Amino acid sequence: LHDITERRRLADQREQLLEQEQLQVRQLRELDKMKDDLVAVVSHELRNPIGVIRGYTELMAADPDLPEVLRQDLTVIDHTSARLTHLVDDLLDLAQLDAGKQFHLVPLDPGPLIQDAVRTHRITASARQVTLISEVEPLPVIPGEPRRLQQVLDNLLSNAVKYSLPGGTVTVTARHHDDRFVLTIADTGIGIPAEQYPHLFDRFFRASTATGLGIKGTGLGLAVTKAIVEAHDGTISAEPGTDGGTRFIVSLPARVQLTAEL
Ligand code: ADP
């Protein structure tokens, strides 16, 4: 009789613990959703005022009689608010991706998308005395959202240029390999300490090589990039480059036969 009572007591205790655990999971999920909603609302509400600041800055800078010293001040305001816009955009993107926003994938040819991005970034690269090379094979049509894939290219290319030193080279390679589209962006820049690679795609993470040199950033771009790549069923990784620097590899499914269904 004692045994039965003891077993029942233990079973009751286990049930109570289970209920407590389920309650905690529910509370954590609610908190997580509240955090996502808050970030989404705050970023959305910040967008408009920043837009107004940028609009007025442009308007004032257009005045031909503006004294040079004020023009320089306006440039600082413009650059700072551009950075703020970027930060808010990244936060908003992450909030939407966290909320499980679905992408509208269409059949697209990645070739022109890459060429466009390379052309745009070549301007910033040459201003920093960095050579930008692209080696793009004829590529298959892949399922993707053009604006989002452009964002992936922009983030990786701007990082490669930003974290390069004068005289450096950034090489963009795109190949079709085993039903995958493989994009590689390699630079000969400042690199990332080996032990920091595992944190590279974490939100707000910045490598000590970048902070040590005082290069500005938010540590959000790679988190957004990873989320976009994963929403395309792809993978992204980073490794030390062969000539120093860093190499990022994006692999996306290139299921050509699927495109007919899209
Ligand atoms: P941000 O560049 O705004 O700081 P990212 O999320 O794009 O944010 O990158 C996170 C960090 O990863 C950067 O701060 C930098 O330390 C490191 N990083 C990213 N790309 C490179 C690169 N090509 N070379 C060296 N470090 C890089």
- pLDDT tens sequence across 131-162: 999 999 888 899 999 999 999 999 999 999 99
Pocket test for ligand 1, best of 88, 206, 239 (most atoms within 8 A of CB): 206
Any idea which of 39-43, 82-86, 219-223 has the lowest mean pLDDT?
Answer: 39-43
- What's the pLDDT score for residue 180? 93
**Residue 83, strand partner residues:** none
Which burial class, exposed, middle or buried, applies to 235 when counting CB atoms under 10 A from its CB (0-12, 13-18, 19+)?
middle
The 10s digit of each residue's pLDDT in 15-62 is: 999 999 999 999 999 988 888 888 888 888 888 899 999 999 999 999
The strand order across the sheet containing 180-187 reads 131-136, 169-177, 180-187, 246-253, 235-240
Assigned token pair, 41: 């609302």
Whole-number Å distance between alpha carbons of 227 and 155: 12
Can you list the positions of beta strands (E) in 77-128?
106-108
Between the CA of 207 and the centroid of ligand 1 the distance, in Å, is 7
Q: Give the count of beta carbons closer than 10 Å to the beta carbon of residue 127.
A: 9
Protein residue with its CA nearest to atom 10 in ligand 1:
219
Q: Which atom of ligand 1 is nearest to the CA of 190?
A: 25
- Please state the ipTM of this predicted complex: 0.99
